């Protein structure tokens, strides 16, 4: 039988050979699998069962055309996806991303990460992801609605409250979920409100879901700092993006005594030394995102702060880095600047916001890294709480949801820390999150036979 190292290397080579054009999917597999070595040392029977080969292959990958009519009466065609990655511990669960950069590789990397993340939440949800290369930028409300209706006209047959439960991600917020839900209900003729999460409050949404990802990231960062005998109070944070996740981070960081001093967009970044920390500033971010102008410079113009065109905020001397925009936002050269600035903490908000080289460099230089699959699990956790409320036909108060969210994030940090320590990694949350997430899925897969 192969040793655990040989087995992991073999699976990585197979993934590369089978998916040669899927750079992001290969990247996440190359990051996660080597950290699982001690698990395969402990359970060599997993090698005989070829568990990893089954784990890296999605259960189902659905690709479909999405024709829709634009405001000029022209028919446009986009590509839709739903990757049902792993359903061993519950219905597939994960967001929908509408962004021109969407490819099958991106859907698969997100579905793979989501499987581990959802396991870490401790809630009964499998991993999936979907979306389209549709670009919402500059589209009218009517165009977005017609696109969503066409997207759901195919997707509805693959999802269900006990089958697969999509939600939002980049480019998909409350408006899009509303249009998708309306079309699902119209086609199915029933009121299966647990089929989507991130819904509006009047039709089965959960309080705190829009804020949950950002709140969870700050709760997770708080645990990281506590572990180091430190506190969030008085800390400065460099964040990227100005979307849903950054918005939640700004709110909770302010509440906990820290301040976010940078935001970024496709045009550059802004530096606000006083912090993005007043209702006026935080609400303006939402206005900027909803306007579709997609320029963070608007913030600098309105509040009289500095704007750095074409630059990323990673050269700023702050206490904590929180990338909240998209994947591979932080490369090795950014990591080198971050380390050179003596920054100790990075807590990942976006999915896979750092390249593998950047993470390795920061960790080997003593930084504490909170990996996205643990740190940003608050969003999907509250989605799962939304599913629970829908099943029970009741609604919890904002305080109830926030208290549960906080506890879930504390547990995720503890489980990742404990798993890392148990397997000899020390305080390595990257390895710990991978192992703790994998452990539960692996046990469920083994129990369910050769599937
Ligand atoms: N919403 C949620 O509940 C959760 C989201 N996440 C992750 O958090 C991150 C942000 O999501 P969210 O805030 O919901 O999304 P939004 O659509 O609200 O905001 C996304 C932000 O990221 C930027 N962005 C997106 N794609 C790219 C790209 N290819 N290049 C440069 N910038 C880009 C956007 O700018 P632009 O308009 O220029 O694209 C925007 O500022 C994503 O990685 C997402 O997967 C993780 C867990 C849950
Ligand atoms: O709420 C959800 O189901 C999905 C959230 C999501 O897409 C993510 O965690 O990356």
Q: Hey, what are 413's tokens?
A: 């940090």
| pLDDT score of 5 more than 90 | yes
Q: Catalytic site residue 281?
A: no
Smallest CA separation from ligand 1 atom 15, residue: 170
Residue 48 pLDDT level (bands cut at 50, 70, 90)? very high
Q: Which of 16, 18, 129, 226 is catalytic?
A: 129
What is the DSSP code string of 41-54?
Answer: HH-THHHHTTHHHH
Q: Is the CB of 387 under 6 A from ligand 2?
A: no
What is the DSSP code string of 79-129?
Answer: EEEEEEEE-SSSSEEEEEEE-TT--HHHHHHHHHHHHHHHHHTTSS-EEEE
In this predicted model, which residue has the larger pLDDT, 290 or 378? 378
Instruction: Give residue 408's Cα distance to chain centre.
Output: 16
Q: Is the CB of 94 under 6 A from ligand 2?
A: yes
For 273-323, write each residue's pLDDT tens digit.
999 999 999 999 999 998 888 899 999 999 999 999 999 999 999 999 999
Give the per-residue pLDDT at 292.
Answer: 84
Percent of the chain whose predicted confidence (pLDDT) is above 70: 100
Task: State the average pLDDT for the chain.
Answer: 97
For 65-75, write each residue's pLDDT tens digit.
999 999 999 99
Contact 336, 396 (CB under 8 A): no
- List pocket residues of ligand 1, CB cut-off 6 Å: 99, 101, 168-171, 213, 241-245, 265-266, 289, 294, 324-326, 349-351, 376, 379
Q: Is the CB of 78 under 6 A from ligand 2?
A: no
Q: Hey, what are 425's tokens?
A: 């990694």
Give ∠ CA 406-412-418 in degrees, rounded to 5: 135
Beta carbons within 8 Å of 345's beta carbon, 6+ residues apart: 221, 224, 225, 319, 320, 321, 367, 368, 370
Ligand 1 midpoint to CA 158 (Å)? 25
Query: In Å, what is the CA distance from 235 to each residue of 26, 225, 376?
Result: 35, 10, 20
Give the per-residue pLDDT at 451.
Answer: 74
Give the per-residue pLDDT at 261.
Answer: 98
Ligand 1 atom closest to the CA of 167, numbered from 1? 3
The residue-averaged pLDDT of 205-229 equals: 98
Give the per-residue pLDDT at 412.
Answer: 99
Give the per-residue pLDDT at 450.
Answer: 82
Ligand 2 midpoint to CA 159 (Å)? 15
Secondary-structure percent of the chain, ordered helix, strand, coil, rounded to 5: 50, 15, 30
Q: Which long-range contacts (CB under 8 A, 24 or more apart) does 45-48 make?
A: 46/442, 46/446, 47/1, 47/2, 47/4, 47/7, 48/1
SS (H, E, C) 195-238: HCCCCCHHHCCCCCHHHHHHHHHHHHHHHHHHHCCCCCCCCEEE
Ligand 1 atom closest to the CA of 198, numbered from 1? 3
Give the per-residue pLDDT at 293.
Answer: 87
Burial class (CB in 10 A: 0-12, 13-18, 19+), 301: exposed
Give the per-residue pLDDT at 400.
Answer: 98
337 C-beta neighbours (distance < 10 Å), count: 15
Q: Is the CB of 383 under 6 A from ligand 2?
A: yes
The residue-averaged pLDDT of 82-100 equals: 98
Ligand 2 midpoint to CA 27 (Å)? 20
Q: What are phi and psi of 354, to 5 degrees?
A: -115, 145
Contact 384, 127 (CB under 8 A): no
Burial 165-201 (b: 16+ CB within 10 A, else e): bbbbbbbbbebbbbbbbebbbeeeeeebbbbbbbbee
Give the per-residue pLDDT at 1.
Answer: 87
Percent of the chain whose predicted confidence (pLDDT) is above 90: 98
Contact 248, 217 (CB under 8 A): yes
Give, for 368, the enclosing helix (H) or strand (E). strand 368-370
Ligand 2 midpoint to CA 216 (Å)? 12
Give, for 275, the enclosing helix (H) or strand (E). none
Burial 242-273 (b: 16+ CB within 10 A, else e): bbbbbbbbbbbbbebebbbbbbbbebbbbbbe
Query: In Å, what is the CA distance from 312 to each residue of 77, 265, 308, 355?
Result: 33, 9, 8, 15
């Amino acid at each position: 039988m192969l040793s655990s190292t040989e087995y992991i290397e073999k699976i990585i080579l197979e993934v590369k050979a089978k998916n040669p054009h899927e750079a992001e999917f290969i990247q996440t597999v190359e990051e996660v699998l080597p950290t699982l070595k001690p698990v395969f040392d402990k359970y060599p029977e997993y090698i005989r069962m070829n568990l990893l080969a089954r784990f890296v292959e999605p259960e189902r990958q659905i690709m479909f055309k999405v024709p829709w009519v634009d405001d000029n009466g022209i028919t446009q065609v986009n590509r839709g996806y739903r990757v049902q990655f792993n359903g061993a511990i519950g219905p597939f669960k994960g967001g929908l991303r509408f962004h021109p950069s969407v490819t099958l590789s991106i859907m698969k990397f997100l579905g793979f990460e989501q499987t581990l993340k959802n396991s870490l939440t401790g809630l009964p949800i499998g991993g999936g992801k979907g979306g389209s290369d549709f670009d919402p930028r500059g589209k009218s409300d009517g165009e977005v609605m017609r696109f969503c209706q066409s997207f759901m006209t195919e997707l509805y047959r693959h999802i269900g409250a006990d089958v697969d439960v999509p939600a939002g991600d980049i480019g998909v917020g409350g408006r899009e979920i509303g249009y998708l839900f309306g079309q699902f209900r119209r086609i199915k003729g029933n009121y299966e409100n647990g089929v989507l999460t991130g819904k509006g409050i009047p039709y089965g949404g959960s309080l705190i879901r829009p804020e949950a990802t950002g709140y969870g990231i700050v709760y997770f960062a708080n645990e990281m700092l506590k572990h180091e005998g430190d506190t969030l109070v008085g800390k400065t944070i460099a964040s990227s993006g100005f979307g849903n996740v950054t918005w939640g981070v700004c709110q909770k960081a302010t509440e906990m005594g820290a301040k976010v001093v940078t935001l970024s967009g496709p045009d550059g970044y802004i530096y606000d030394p006083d912090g993005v920390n007043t209702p006026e500033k935080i609400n303006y971010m939402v206005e900027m995102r909803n306007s579709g102008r997609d320029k963070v410079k608007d913030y600098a113009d309105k509040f009289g702060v500095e704007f750095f065109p074409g630059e990323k905020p990673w050269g700023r001397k702050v206490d904590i880095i929180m990338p909240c925009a998209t994947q591979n936002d932080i490369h090795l050269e950014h990591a080198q600047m971050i380390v050179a600035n003596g920054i100790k903490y990075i807590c990942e908000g976006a999915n896979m916001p750092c390249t593998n080289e950047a993470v390795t460099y920061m960790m080997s230089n003593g930084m504490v890294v909170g990996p996205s699959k643990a740190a940003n699990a608050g969003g999907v956790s509250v989605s799962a709480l939304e599913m629970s409320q829908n099943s029970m036909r009741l609604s919890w108060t904002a305080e109830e949801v926030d208290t549960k969210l906080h506890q879930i994030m504390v547990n995720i940090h503890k489980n990742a820390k404990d798993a890392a320590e148990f397997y000899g990694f020390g305080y390595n949350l990257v390895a710990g999150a991978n192992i703790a997430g994998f452990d539960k899925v692996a046990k469920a897969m083994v129990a369910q036979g050769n599937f």
